[in-house]
């Protein structure tokens, strides 16, 4: 999809449709009023008839009959000035893009009228519209044959860009297009079946990404993982014949700033291992590499953004399967940092992979660590499918993650790592056990990870509830969501700008 910018007014745009936004109960203003005039009051009449109300994600497609250069105007409801106007705009843009695409529109213009969206800056609104357009257009069906319409528009034109904030808007739209594309890239990887997306396939994705950018890639194979004494990661990988790997992607554009590491859980299929999961919905456990996909997506985006940041993406990739070689409940493992771990459940495997990957990141000299993982079912109990859980040992970094999430339109909520939770992980035989019982399962998982980061500033994002959308919605199809991809991108921007 080509992103274009033009000073041209929406009235003169010669495409298949122009999109304009309207808040609930707001008068027709700016470009919407101009278009209404050109249409001799059609929009106003629809408003008076109660057919256009401006409610969130309402979309009304009006044929212009030659009165505008484009044959259609889509009037998009943006809702009222509720508490989260930018969230509403992102969603509405996704709905509009889908409706127009499915009616065969290929060249679409965005008629700008960003000022009336309350409590937000025009560039935030611009970003939300472009990101929403990209994510709305994603249609999945990775393994289907030919589809009736293409996924994307041929062209998305941002119209009426001029004035003082013109440059800011162009910049916001460009970054948003990169972030939207990266989100869809991550979704595709998560949606692809686990027989295709194996650890080796994730490595191949990283290699291809590096070949087409200034990223450097390194893939550590099972022998190297053993040599590095990653006993926790190795144990998880042992049950499967698919070779595990540790993927490293480097974006080195600064040598004296912070060294940031994004670590993503890359479990390409989680059966639970010997502590096998119940069969119901087990197929959804292909989503267990969603953290890894978010890290790949974020590095893909960052490499296009020239942020001047020293960033490493680290993805421990493996399957978790039962076999005669599989690790068992009761086993004691030694992680790379020398800590011993008593295995209570082989289904709590994500924290084992991450323990070694985080310790490795510390050895690589990371100053800021952020991990993303579909880590605990308990996170779904705590926050549902609405928000990701965020924890960490450094308030400034945790707050930066929460801020980045807000800016990316991803709900995130902090959970406490109070010291009172830590004894739940005490083991009689080893330094720590991998399960702390049912109470506060997301927090004890966070505490487990914390034991492997030393004093390095670290934040953890549990996306178990947000990586997968269980129900088709007008703005988002069922399946992978690309959770945390945009948050990581937004966080990289913040870290490049310097944390307080
Ligand atoms: N991958 C799962 C967590 C998960 C659950 C992700 C649902 C996405 C949706 C993780 O490896 C796991 O199995 N966790 C166990 C931990 C338990 C054994 C302490 C869980 O949450 O049940
Ligand atoms: Zn598991
Ligand atoms: Zn898992």
pLDDT per position as a tens digit, 143-167: 998 766 568 899 999 998 887 778 9
Report residue 406's pLDDT band, with 50, 70 and 90 as the boundaries.
very high
d(CA 334, CA 336) in angstroms, rounded, equals: 7
3-state class percentages of the chain: helix first, strand second, coil last, to nearest 5: 40, 20, 40
**In the prediction, which pLDDT does 149 show?**
59
Most confidently modeled of 20-29, 49-58, 346-355?
346-355
Q: How far is the CA of 309 from the centre of ligand 1 (A)?
A: 33
Of 497 and 418, more confident: 418
**In the prediction, which pLDDT does 162 show?**
80
Could you say which ligand is closest to the alpha carbon of residue 444? 1
Percent of the chain with pLDDT over 90: 86
Q: Which residue from 377, 432, 440, 467 has its CB within 8 A of the most atoms of ligand 1, so it is best to mutate?
A: 377
Q: Which residues are catalytic?
A: 277, 351
Model confidence at 240: pLDDT above 90: yes
Q: Give the number of the atom of ligand 1 that is nearest the alpha carbon of residue 349.
A: 11
Name, in order, each residue with C-beta under 8 angstroms of 78's C-beta and a sequence gap of 6 or more.
21, 22, 23, 24, 54, 56, 85, 88, 89, 92, 117
- In angstroms, the Cα distances linking 489 to 82, 90, 128, 257 are 26, 17, 14, 17
User: With a threshold of 0.95, does the pTM exceed it?
Assistant: yes
Are the beta carbons of 21 and 78 closer than 8 angstroms? yes
Number of helices (H) and strands (E), helices first, in the chain? 14, 20
Q: How far is the CA of 266 from the centre of ligand 3 (A)?
A: 9
**In the prediction, which pLDDT does 377 show?**
98
Give the residue whose CA is nearest to atom 3 of ligand 1: 376
The whole-number average pLDDT for the span 396-416 is 97
Tell me the pLDDT tens digit for each residue of 446-466.
999 999 999 999 999 999 999
Give the residue whose CA is nearest to atom 9 of ligand 1: 464
**In the prediction, which pLDDT does 200 show?**
98
Report residue 209's pLDDT band, with 50, 70 and 90 as the boundaries.
very high
d(CA 499, CA 497) in angstroms, rounded, equals: 7
Which of the residue ranges 100-104, 254-258, 372-376, 408-412 would you say has the lowest mean pLDDT?
A: 254-258
**In the prediction, which pLDDT does 255 show?**
78
Q: Give the number of the atom of ligand 1 that is nearest the alpha carbon of residue 374.
A: 6
User: Is 288 near ligand 1, meaning CB less than 6 Å away?
Assistant: yes
Instruction: Name the average pLDDT for the chain.
Output: 95
Q: How far is the CA of 442 from the centre of ligand 1 (A)?
A: 10
- For 305-384, strand residue ranges (E) read 310-320, 332-334, 340-342, 368-373
User: Is 194 near ligand 1, meaning CB less than 6 Å away?
Assistant: no
394: nearest Cα among 293, 499, 323, 290 = 499
The whole-number average pLDDT for the span 19-23 is 90
Most confidently modeled of 4-8, 83-87, 200-204, 254-258?
200-204
Report residue 114's pLDDT band, with 50, 70 and 90 as the boundaries.
low
Are the beta carbons of 291 and 468 closer than 8 angstroms? no
User: Is 434 near ligand 1, meaning CB less than 6 Å away?
Assistant: no
The whole-number average pLDDT for the span 70-92 is 87
Q: What are phi and psi of 133, to 5 degrees?
A: -60, -45
Model confidence at 52: pLDDT above 70: yes
User: Is 36 near ligand 1, meaning CB less than 6 Å away?
Assistant: no
User: Is 353 near ligand 1, meaning CB less than 6 Å away?
Assistant: no
d(CA 470, CA 363) in angstroms, rounded, equals: 39
Model confidence at 116: pLDDT above 70: no
Model confidence at 83: pLDDT above 90: no
The whole-number average pLDDT for the span 189-201 is 98
d(CA 314, CA 455) in angstroms, rounded, equals: 19
Question: In this structure, is the dihedral angle defined by the CA atoms of residues 424, 430, 432 and 433, taken in order, positive or negative?
Answer: negative
Tell me the pLDDT tens digit for each residue of 473-495.
999 999 999 999 999 999 999 99
Ranges for all domains in the chain classified under CATH 3.40.220.10: 2-183
The whole-number average pLDDT for the span 200-223 is 98
**In the prediction, which pLDDT does 33 show?**
94
Q: Give the number of the atom of ligand 1 that is nearest the alpha carbon of residue 287.
A: 8
User: Is 385 near ligand 1, meaning CB less than 6 Å away?
Assistant: no
Q: What fold does the segment set 194-497 form as a domain? A: Aminopeptidase (3.40.630)
Within 72-165, residue ranges assigned H as helices are 85-102, 122-137
Q: Which residue from 379, 448, 464, 470 has its CB within 8 A of the most atoms of ligand 1, so it is best to mutate?
A: 464
d(CA 305, CA 489) in angstroms, rounded, equals: 10
385: nearest Cα among 287, 315, 460 = 287
**In the prediction, which pLDDT does 107 show?**
98
- Return the H-helix or E-strand segment holding 14: none
d(CA 144, CA 40) in angstroms, rounded, equals: 45
Neighbouring C-beta atoms of residue 148, cutoff 10 Å = 6
The whole-number average pLDDT for the span 125-154 is 89
Using DSSP bridges, classify how beta strands 368-373 and 457-462 pair: parallel, antiparallel or unpaired: parallel
d(CA 141, CA 147) in angstroms, rounded, equals: 9
Q: Which residue from 347, 379, 437 has its CB within 8 A of the most atoms of ligand 1, so it is best to mutate?
A: 347
Could you say which ligand is closest to the alpha carbon of residue 377? 1
Of 314 and 24, more confident: 314
* CATH code of the domain made up of 2-183: 3.40.220.10
Q: How far is CA 258 from the centre of its chain?
A: 23
Ranges for all domains in the chain classified under CATH 3.40.630.10: 194-497
User: Is 348 near ligand 1, meaning CB less than 6 Å away?
Assistant: yes
Report residue 120's pLDDT band, with 50, 70 and 90 as the boundaries.
confident
The whole-number average pLDDT for the span 251-278 is 95
Report residue 497's pLDDT band, with 50, 70 and 90 as the boundaries.
confident
Q: Give the number of the atom of ligand 1 that is nearest the alpha carbon of residue 377.
A: 21
User: Is 290 near ligand 1, meaning CB less than 6 Å away?
Assistant: no
Give the residue whose CA is nearest to atom 5 of ligand 1: 377
**In the prediction, which pLDDT does 366 show?**
98
Of 257 and 255, more confident: 257
Model confidence at 81: pLDDT above 70: no
d(CA 31, CA 237) in angstroms, rounded, equals: 58
The whole-number average pLDDT for the span 24-47 is 94
d(CA 97, CA 185) in angstroms, rounded, equals: 18
Q: Give the number of the atom of ligand 1 that is nearest the alpha carbon of residue 467.
A: 8
134: nearest Cα among 407, 486, 471, 411 = 486
Are the beta carbons of 233 and 244 closer than 8 angstroms? yes
């Amino acid at each position: 999809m080509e992103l274009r910018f033009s000073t041209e007014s929406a009235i003169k745009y010669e495409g298949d449709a122009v999109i304009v936004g309207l808040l609930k109960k707001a008068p027709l203003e700016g470009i919407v009023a101009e278009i209404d005039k050109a249409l001799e009051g059609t929009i106003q009449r629809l408003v008076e008839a109660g057919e256009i109300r401006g409610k969130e994600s309402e979309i009304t497609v009006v044929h212009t009959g030659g009165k505008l250069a484009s044959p259609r105007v889509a009037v998009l409801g943006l809702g009222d000035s509720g508490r989260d106007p930018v969230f509403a705009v992102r969603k509405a843009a996704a709905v509009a893009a889908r409706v127009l695409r499915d009616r065969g529109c290929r060249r679409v213009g965005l008629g700008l009228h960003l000022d009336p969206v309350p409590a937000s800056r025009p560039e935030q609104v611009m970003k939300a519209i472009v990101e929403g357009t990209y994510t709305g257009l994603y249609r999945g069906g990775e393994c289907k044959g030919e589809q009736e319409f293409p996924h994307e528009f041929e062209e998305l034109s941002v119209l009426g860009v001029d004035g003082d904030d013109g440059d800011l808007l162009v910049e916001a739209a460009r970054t948003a297009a990169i972030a939207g594309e990266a989100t869809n890239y991550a979704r595709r990887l998560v949606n692809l079946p686990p027989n295709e997306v194996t650890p080796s396939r994730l490595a191949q994705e990283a290699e291809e990404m590096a070949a087409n950018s200034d990223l450097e890639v390194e893939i550590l194979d099972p022998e190297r993982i053993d040599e590095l004494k990653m006993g926790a990661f190795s144990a998880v990988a042992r049950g499967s014949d698919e070779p595990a790997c540790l993927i490293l992607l480097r974006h080195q554009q600064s040598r004296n700033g912070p060294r940031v590491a994004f670590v993503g859980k890359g479990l390409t299929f989680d059966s639970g291992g010997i502590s096998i999961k119940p069969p119901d919905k087990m197929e959804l456990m292909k989503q267990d590499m969603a953290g890894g996909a978010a890290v790949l997506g974020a590095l893909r985006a960052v490499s296009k953004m020239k942020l001047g940041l020293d960033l490493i993406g680290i993805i421990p990739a493996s399957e978790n399967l039962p076999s005669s070689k599989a690790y068992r409940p009761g086993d004691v493992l030694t992680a790379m940092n020398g800590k011993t771990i008593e295995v209570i459940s082989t289904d709590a495997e994500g924290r084992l992979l991450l323990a070694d990957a985080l310790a490795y990141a510390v050895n690589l000299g990371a100053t800021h660590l952020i991990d993303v993982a579909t880590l605990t079912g308990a996170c779904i109990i705590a926050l549902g499918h609405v928000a990701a859980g965020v924890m960490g040992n450094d308030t400034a970094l945790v707050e930066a993650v929460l801020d980045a999430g807000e800016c990316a339109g991803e709900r995130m909520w902090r959970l406490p790592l109070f010291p009172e939770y830590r004894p739940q992980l005490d083991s009689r035989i080893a330094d720590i056990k991998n399960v702390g019982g049912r109470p506060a399962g997301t927090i004890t998982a966070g505490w487990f990870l914390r034991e492997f980061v030393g004093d390095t500033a670290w934040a953890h994002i549990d996306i178990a509830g947000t990586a997968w959308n269980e129900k088709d919605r007008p703005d988002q199809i069922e399946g992978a969501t690309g959770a945390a991809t945009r948050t990581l991108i937004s966080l990289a921007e913040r870290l490049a700008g310097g944390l307080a």
